[in-house]
Chains A and B, each alone.
Chain A
Amino acid sequence: MLPLYLTNDDRDCQHIHSAKSDAEQNCPAFLDGNVDEENISNLLTAKFTTQSTQAVSYKPIPPPTWLVLPGEQLLEQPFHAPDLPQLFSLDPTSRCSCGSNRWQGINSMVDEIVIFTNCTAIIRQIETVYCTLCTNKRGRVGPDLSEFGIFNWNNRIAFSHQLMNEYTNRFTTALTPFFSFREQIINLYESQRSPRSFVSLYIFIAAYFRFVQIQQLETEMRCLHCKDEPSVVIADGVSISFSNTKVLGLKPPTICDKEKELVKINAPRNQSRTTCFEGEPKIRREFQNALELTKYEDVCSKLKALILQHQVISTCVKG
């Protein structure tokens, strides 16, 4: 039995989570009830994350067949548009994009859903109910549809897994930005006389990122031959970067905390002078230059001259 009036603590709405998470990151004192002018000003001027965009689909999505590894249980089912039912009904696993699945006993409604596939849009019916938690957004509980190879974005728009996997395939094999992929799909839709045109770039990008977030693509990052402890590791930096202004919470392993881990090193800064084999850098350089000469005769004569120059022959004889 649901309470008549839900307090803010009971509600599981996206905007509350998002606001809380932003406040926690940018102004923790605000959450502790310390509501002074400085904290309010901090909160208002802080950089906020864009509100996380959730989808109705939430069940783990299998990796595409061309990426399946041995032993994986979750396998992709081939997508056949003619096999799709006319109506996608609610089932016990249905839920709203806010994460709520409280819908039992409420009257359902049937609406149109557009499924965007690789070459055309398909129109079907979908059964939904209003979500009891995010009433402010008029969110609806709908079926997950992953069993049909469909990613339900918001009960009105859905994408075939095949389409999303196609983009993954394209951008990992050749330079394919979202824009150019969308343009290609738009052209295909036009030639196929699709009943609906393709979605906006913004929706496609948002849906794609949510799709890969729940897709089981992650690997153990281990090589079959090297196993757990690769003896040879090749490190390299690559300029895959984004705008500095968009940095929010990157935590590379280079971050260190003096209060937790502190090591004192009492060694001179110029290490090359203290750890090289021996001798002054100038003398070493002279010998090295001599050894780099092309002809052996020149090398020998130069070395002889250097030995004499540094008056080391006597040391050698004494030794």
Chain B
Amino acid sequence: MSFAILECLQIFIETNQYHKKYALRFRQLLRQIFSNDSILQIAQPVAIDNLRRYSVGDPDHNLAPVVPAFGMILQNLTKNQQLKDRVEPCLRNLAKALADRSELTFNNLISQRQVVRSTPVENETVHVHEWETTGACYSTPRQRLRPFYEGRDSGVAQNRNTDICNKYYDTYKKQKLTGGLMAFWCPHLVCLGFHMMPTAEGRDDVFSGIFTHWPKAPRVIVYDFACQLAPYCLIREPEFFQDTLFVIDEMHSTGHSSCSQAFFLQNYMLTRASLKFVNSSAAECGNAGLSRIRKSVSYMSESHAILYTHTFVSVWNRRRIRYLLKEAKNQVDELRSTRFVHQFV
């Protein structure tokens, strides 16, 4: 065990009586460090520079959004200079250790990956209404093909590791039906794409959907099984997903008992302004809507099921866009009326 961690443990034991909130935050950081989660989740590749800057003594205001566990401790330290002087040196050492380990792990992932053959997607012919037969409909055309990952995609059922979180969908176990629908939503409840799954593959569906249709990986992916999605994506495409944060939405986070807070969206909401008002249950709302067609679709042929689902999603998106426009208009009107009143006052 490294010196930095032991030092942190000792400091925690010595200082936990100082401040309740501070002790809580420190404990959360330690729990993340001792969890089975990948270092790339605790300290994302984008956080390496921030951690290094902090470790050499530069005050880095961008550290808190990328490593909230650190940010929250630092926030609580500002009130007590004596405690700050005592704790900060060990935190700086820990930041350096985290940055080193994260960089090493990320570089290892890249070096372990070797592209044997690749075909540009331009060679593939794409039809306008291809979704009617393929069951995959996205806002953008296919950007790249999904590679076969030798050494990972063996087709053999994955060994269940007792150390990791095992969350499986019981509803997909009905072998007589197809695997369901994988849908991607934006926080404003607009469906960005979906595909029908012949068999439920979980992580692979999210990975493939984003990797093949997104020109650039999104900054944040919220998924109820993100604890397994993150390593799945990072080992296959480390460079594509290097800036992506994988998090579990607020509603499902309680079910993940063996995952650290590094995977919970609410952890980042405290320090990242862009995530503060994110409706992480957008997918649940969308899926609740989609459940209205579950019964009808279960009796349909493939082409009808695709068309019916597509119609539902199109109507849903139109309703959402109209709602967003109306909301924006109301805000403008409100602003105008306020200005009008101020003029007279």
Contact = CB atoms under 8 A, between A and B. Distances in A.
Interface stretch (A10-18, A29-37, A115-123, A250-258): A250-258
A277 B98 contact: yes
Interface string B309-330: 1111111111111101100100
Interface in B81-135: 98, 101, 105, 108-109, 112-119, 132-135
B139 A221 contact: yes
Given A232-B219, A249-B134, A307 B113 contact: no
A91 to B, nearest CB: 27
A83 interface: no
B2 interface: yes
B221 A263 contact: no
A242 B161 contact: no
Contacts of A175: 292-293, 295-296
A303 B6 CA distance: 10
Contacts of A223: 186, 188, 190, 192, 320-321, 324
B178 interface: yes
A263 B219 contact: no
Nearest to A318: B3
B111 to A, nearest CB: 9
Interface string A212-247: 110001111111111001111111111111111011
Nearest to B26: A291
Contacts of B169: 237, 239
Nearest to B312: A172
Interface string B151-179: 11100000101011000010110111111
Interface in B26-71: 27, 30-31, 33-40, 42
Contacts of B39: 275-277
A231 B219 contact: yes
Contacts of B42: 277
B198 A233 contact: no
A262 B150 contact: yes
Nearest to A70: B325
B210 interface: yes
A49 B318 CA distance: 31
Nearest to B260: A288
A261 B148 contact: yes
Contacts of B119: 260-261
Contact of B183 (A225, A232, A238, A261): A238
Contacts of B37: 272, 276
B177 A241 contact: yes
A41 interface: no
A223 B324 CA distance: 9
Given A69-B321, A240-B294, A275-B39, A262 B147 contact: yes
B303 to A, nearest CB: 7
B222 A267 contact: no
Contacts of A237: 169, 172, 179-183, 197, 200, 202, 205
B73 interface: no
A80 interface: no
Contacts, number: 405
Contact of A303 (B9, B185, B324): B9
Contacts of B1: 278-279, 283, 310, 312, 315
B74 interface: no
Given A221-B139, A261-B147, A296-B16, A233 B40 contact: no
A21 B310 CA distance: 23
B112 A241 contact: no
A239 to B, nearest CB: 4
B341 interface: no
Contacts of B205: 237, 252-254
A319 B196 CA distance: 56
Contacts of B302: 242, 246-250
A226 B190 contact: yes
A299 interface: yes
A229 B292 contact: no
Nearest to A224: B324
B343 interface: no
B77 interface: no
A242 B299 contact: yes
Interface of A: 49-50, 63, 67, 69-70, 168, 171-178, 205, 209, 212-213, 217-226, 229-244, 246-267, 269-272, 274-279, 281, 283-285, 287-288, 291-292, 296, 299-300, 303-304, 307, 310, 312, 315-316, 319
For the complex of A and B, 4 pairs with smallest distance between CB atoms: A236-B283, A319-B3, A221-B139, A261-B147
28 contacts: A67-B318, A175-B296, A205-B304, A219-B314, A232-B186, A232-B218, A233-B192, A234-B185, A234-B223, A234-B280, A235-B206, A236-B287, A237-B182, A241-B180, A242-B178, A243-B176, A252-B197, A253-B136, A253-B213, A261-B118, A269-B159, A272-B163, A275-B109, A276-B37, A276-B38, A276-B39, A281-B163, A304-B13
